[in-house]
């Protein structure tokens, strides 16, 4: 395959500095303060996230890989031959490889990713393993409507692959909206193959977001380092700390950045004031029971055609299709 074929198509976005400044200032003005979790993923943040996935406490990645080891054959049979596989996020190459190894005559692989370096790296890795598979990387924000590249031949169905339980980082309303966008994108005969972390013992979930080596804490605070670099703000990283707490009623990890003292931070022309112990929300990681998730899919016009669990029953992969009627 020529390198040119691997060049990502650019579908714009990655907010310009002025837009980023506005988003951050708006979040700092909100009561309580709140910043969006996609701000985690600069180059360093993406590296730290990969390290999180290897921490003994972070069971999600290992469970999803174990699930694919056990069920990839059955998943591939369910999807059928001649699939166009569209992955939201360029993700973890191991999972995609496990799936592609089992698919029968896939038409093409379309990773959709906003971080261009991550997109290029994952495509390069997969192209080495699957030299005959057409790759059509798309540099875009998958939460917005996409312009998918024209496939090299007619697929029998388009399957949107969304592993990792990234759907958990969206609040209910946004998650339903995203599932609806997927439904539009996949067409009549298509489907959504999605990784969903399950509700379980609160201590087990909480420890996944509070690893002993402190990698998750570093990942969280890296958001402030990113803002200092890209916006020239003056967050003192040693005056903030990471806190991740499981809220059992809402069924989600709530990650906050806590100000350890009273302080002022300059962000552009704005001077943001933090009280001692003030918490700024930076991420939700929602956990679902199979029933919760089926109800949410239903609201998006989808239904669960099949559900697989890992051997320890910690994590699920679900295949969603258009809801009849
Ligand atoms: C990407 N996403 C599914 C991760 C999660 O588990 O919510 C992000 C993460 N945040 C802290 N640790 C991992």
**Interval 216-236: pLDDT, tens:** 999 999 999 999 999 999 999
Residue 14 — very low, low, confident or very high, per pLDDT cuts 50/70/90?
Answer: low
- Total number of residues shown for the chain: 325
Separation of 129 CA from ligand 1 center, angstroms? 27
pLDDT at residue 57, as a whole number: 98
Residue 148 — very low, low, confident or very high, per pLDDT cuts 50/70/90?
Answer: very high
More confident residue, 269 or 144: 269
d(CA 301, CA 230): 40
pLDDT at 245 over 90: yes
Q: Is 283 in the pocket of ligand 1 (CB under 6 A)?
A: yes
Separation of 233 CA from ligand 1 center, angstroms? 25
Helix boundaries (H) for the chain? 3-6, 17-29, 43-53, 59-79, 93-102, 116-129, 172-186, 202-208, 215-231, 290-299
Q: What is the pLDDT of residues 100-143, one digit of tens each?
A: 999 999 999 999 988 788 888 889 989 999 999 999 999 998 99
Q: What is the pLDDT of residues 79-106, one digit of tens each?
A: 999 999 999 987 678 899 999 999 999 9
On average, the pLDDT of the chain sits at 93
| Atom of ligand 1 minimally distant from the CA of 166 | 3
More confident residue, 60 or 14: 60
| Atom of ligand 1 minimally distant from the CA of 285 | 7
The residue whose two tokens read 């956990």 is 287
Q: What is the full DSSP assignment across 237-264?
A: GGGEEEEEEEETTTTEEEEEEEESS-EE
The residue whose two tokens read 């402190």 is 214
Q: What is the pLDDT of residues 159-215, one digit of tens each?
A: 999 999 999 999 999 999 999 999 999 999 999 999 999 999 999 999 999 999 999
- Percentage with pLDDT > 70 across the chain: 95
Burial class of residue 177 (count of CB atoms within 10 Å of its CB; 0-12, 13-18, 19+): middle
- Minimal CA–CA distance to 208: which of 73, 42, 55? 55
Tell if the pTM clears 0.75, that is, is over it.
yes
Separation of 285 CA from ligand 1 center, angstroms? 6
Q: Is 61 in the pocket of ligand 1 (CB under 6 A)?
A: no
- Percentage with pLDDT > 90 across the chain: 86
């Amino acid at each position: 395959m020529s390198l040119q074929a691997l060049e990502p198509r650019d579908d714009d976005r990655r907010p310009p500095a002025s837009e980023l400044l506005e988003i951050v200032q708006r979040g700092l003005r909100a009561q309580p303060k709140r910043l969006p979790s996609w701000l985690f993923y600069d180059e360093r943040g993406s590296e730290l996230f990969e390290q999180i996935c290897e921490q003994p406490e972070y069971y999600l990645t290992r469970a999803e890989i174990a699930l694919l080891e056990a069920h990839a054959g059955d998943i591939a049979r369910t999807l059928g031959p001649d699939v166009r596989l569209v992955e939201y996020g360029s993700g973890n190459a191991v999972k995609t490889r496990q799936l592609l190894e089992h698919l029968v005559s896939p038409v093409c692989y379309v990773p959709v990713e906003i971080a261009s370096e991550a997109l290029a790296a994952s495509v390069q890795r997969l192209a080495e393993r699957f030299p005959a598979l057409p790759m059509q990387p798309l540099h875009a924000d998958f939460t917005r409507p996409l312009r998918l590249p024209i496939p090299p031949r007619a697929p029998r169905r388009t399957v949107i692959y969304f592993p990792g339980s990234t759907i958990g980082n969206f609040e209910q309303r946004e998650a339903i909206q995203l599932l609806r966008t997927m439904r539009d994108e996949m067409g009549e005969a298509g489907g959504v193959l999605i990784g969903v972390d399950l509700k379980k013992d609160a201590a087990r979930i909480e420890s996944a977001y509070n690893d002993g080596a402190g990698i998750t804490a570093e990942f969280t605070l890296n958001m402030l380092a990113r803002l200092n670099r890209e916006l020239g703000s003056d967050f003192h990283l040693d005056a903030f700390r990471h806190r991740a707490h499981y809220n059992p009623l809402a069924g989600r990890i709530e990650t906050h950045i806590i100000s350890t003292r009273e302080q002022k931070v300059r962000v552009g022309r704005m001077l943001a004031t933090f009280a001692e112990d003030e918490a700024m929300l930076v991420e939700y990681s929602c956990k679902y029971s199979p029933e919760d998730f089926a109800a949410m899919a239903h609201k998006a016009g989808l239904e669960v055609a099949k559900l697989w669990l890992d051997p320890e029953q910690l994590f699920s992969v679900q295949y969603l299709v258009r809801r009849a009627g």
